[in-house]
Amino acid sequence: MLKKVIKILTRVAAGLAVAVLVFLLVGFLLMWLWNWLMPDIFGLPTIGYWQAWGLLLLAHILVGGVRSSRNGSSGSRHERGGHREPSVEVCGFRWHMRKKLGKPDEPAEGAGQPEPS
């Protein structure tokens, strides 16, 4: 029993050490890349470690957005029960392929035909 607890604590400590190491490396890598490229290419000033993390956070917000759901889960759209409607181009492509294959009686939803009023 004691050996099992020690084994678990060792794994938790190793996992935390790896997480801290990755955290530090990501910040220093971004800072190094910025300070290596941006001053020479664009004439921008060099940045520090926490400024690099701020840039990373800003880029994540601008590119990926801040996602949250009402029920607190952070699962994918499929896991949350949502779905994306296929685009008109995709539906039109499917309709034309069905027509080519001899199955025109099954038009794809939204295949470019006008919606019934």
CB count in 10 Å sphere of residue 53: 16
CB count in 10 Å sphere of residue 31: 20
pLDDT digits (tens, 9 = 90+) for 60-106: 999 987 776 565 555 555 555 556 666 666 777 777 778 888 876 65
What one-letter code names the amino acid at 115?
A: E
Number of domains, the chain: 2
The residue ranking higher by pLDDT, 33 or 107, is 33
pLDDT of residue 48: 96
Q: Is the dihedral of CA 106, 110, 114, 117 positive or negative?
A: positive
Expressed as residue numbers, the domain containing 105 is 86-117
Residue 73 inside a domain? The answer is no
Residue 15 inside a domain? The answer is yes
User: In the predicted model, is pLDDT for residue 37 greater than 90?
Assistant: yes
Q: Write down the mean pLDDT value for the chain.
A: 80
Residue 98 sits at the vertex; the CA angle it makes with 89 and 84, to the nearest 5 degrees, is 40
The C-alpha R_g of the chain, in whole angstroms, comes to: 26
Which residues fall within 8 angstroms of residue 30, CB to CB, at 6 or more apart? 52, 53, 55, 56
Residue 77 inside a domain? The answer is no
Residue 90 inside a domain? The answer is yes
